[in-house]
Structure 1
């Protein structure tokens, strides 16, 4: 039977000392790295590197980037980490044309402000000046334009305070490409329809419609208008069915195909 080799404590002491030394060295390196990182953080926070270097505004269409930056109250010489994004977003959202704001920090000194604006769906005229109307129905009386932008139609003669919000709601639900076809909308009631409007389109048509079924009729307007030729002058009626009434009294009305007539043919 082989005898077990016995290692004396004297022989093991150098090995124990070496293990303790390695652990101590690792602990020292770890502490040193932490101290250096802490020093770097302190230096960074005390240096211009920790200040906002640029403020970028994105996705705004009407409200200027300068105005958004002014409302944010952010400065390029203030601390990159010393402002509250939520509180800053609320400051910008006080602007009537701003629907939603998102602020993010990028890299180590850049601030990005993403803006979601309410759409302008029209302009109303008052004392030779034009005021924007937003998709939420707000009329911006404080904004006075001598010439309205071409991004929405001009609305005339809406003295009935209830009809204007109804129309703006309809316009906000329409495809923007169709809204761009409308240059003017006039409230033009008659004895049978207080909701009747007269429109002038960018393709040169005079159109009679109704606020009641405005969305349904305007969605098919391009297909109805495509049935007219360039030499046809008159009024296009899309309030009930679809027909074209030439100017003057000598010509007959022209019946046109619409989504309503197609559905009736299918049902019969």
Structure 2
């Protein structure tokens, strides 16, 4: 079988055409790269390269200004240079912030979404009052008036004790928790976790932190059985019993009288 011989004259045009197509592709790639570089340079020189607006949502305790400042993002920040992980880590350093997410919206808008820890009460520290969060930490902002927002914790110090109180408060139903005016840490010889609760309706509750959440849930049913005009102490430390202030005062008078007779 004979092989067909292709002359050099026939091959040259095909080689030239192939080379031309290859050079054209190379030229197109160079032009595309050139225009891409031009676009990148133009972008970084334009206002669109920098953050145009910053929106914060989900916050109630921490102001927009504090969140934006803590994120480290400003209107001078290059959008492509935003480190979301670093900004989010910085934001969660705020005691009020539970979680956060940063989303960049085309072309240069930044949305900071935050979730805050629930405020479960107030705590007095060195004469100042702060919101107490479900995490066991206090918020950074002082309150000028310590009213509303749950019970006020007094005489509590040390992270372990405050965390223990917080864990109990979280388990107490909202309606009952908001019926508590103050919780005072008042340890005794027999119970280092003894607390005294002053209720908004005028009653006083003695309890231990260890079982506070379990026992205080019976408070509404106990109150229904009492005369609202006869205020007094409801003791939940061991069992559950009530003694009016009037009977306590009478006992003190009787004891005083017995002492004088002796």
| Structure 2 length-normalised TM | 0.69
- Is 1:9–2:4 an aligned residue pair? no
CA deviation vs aligned residue, 1:149-179 (integer Å, no higher than 9, x gap): 63331123x1x745x8514433245237444
Aligned to 1:169, which of 164, 167, 173? 164
- What corresponds to 2:53 in structure 1? 54
Contact 2:235–2:242 (8 Å) recurs in 1: yes
Q: Decide whether aligned partners of structure 1 residues 205 and 32 sit closer, same or farther in structure 2, where only a CA change above 3 A counts.
A: farther
Contact 1:224–1:242 (8 Å) recurs in 2: no
Contact 2:172–2:213 (8 Å) recurs in 1: no
CA deviation vs aligned residue, 1:100-122 (integer Å, no higher than 9, x gap): 65545443423333445555443
- What corresponds to 2:209 in structure 1? 211
- Is 1:22–2:21 an aligned residue pair? yes
- Could you tell me how far apart the structure 2 residues matched to 1:135 and 1:143 are? 16
- What corresponds to 1:33 in structure 2? 32
Q: Decide whether aligned partners of structure 1 residues 206 and 21 sit closer, same or farther in structure 2, where only a CA change above 3 A counts.
A: same
Contact 1:137–1:168 (8 Å) recurs in 2: yes
Number of residue pairs matched by the alignment:
242
Give the helix-richer structure, 1 or 2. 2
Q: Decide whether aligned partners of structure 1 residues 114 and 18 sit closer, same or farther in structure 2, where only a CA change above 3 A counts.
A: same
Unaligned runs of 5+ in 1: 250-268
Unaligned runs of 5+ in 2: 248-262
| Structure 1 length-normalised TM | 0.68
Stretch moving more, 46-55 or 205-214: 205-214
- Could you tell me how far apart the structure 2 residues matched to 1:71 and 1:194 are? 40
CA deviation vs aligned residue, 1:73-113 (integer Å, no higher than 9, x gap): 43213322345445545654564545665545443423333
Residue 52 of structure 1: CA displacement?
A: 0.4
Contact 1:197–1:211 (8 Å) recurs in 2: yes
CA RMSD of aligned residues (A): 3.9
- Is 1:122–2:121 an aligned residue pair? yes
Contact 2:196–2:205 (8 Å) recurs in 1: yes
- What corresponds to 2:64 in structure 1? 65
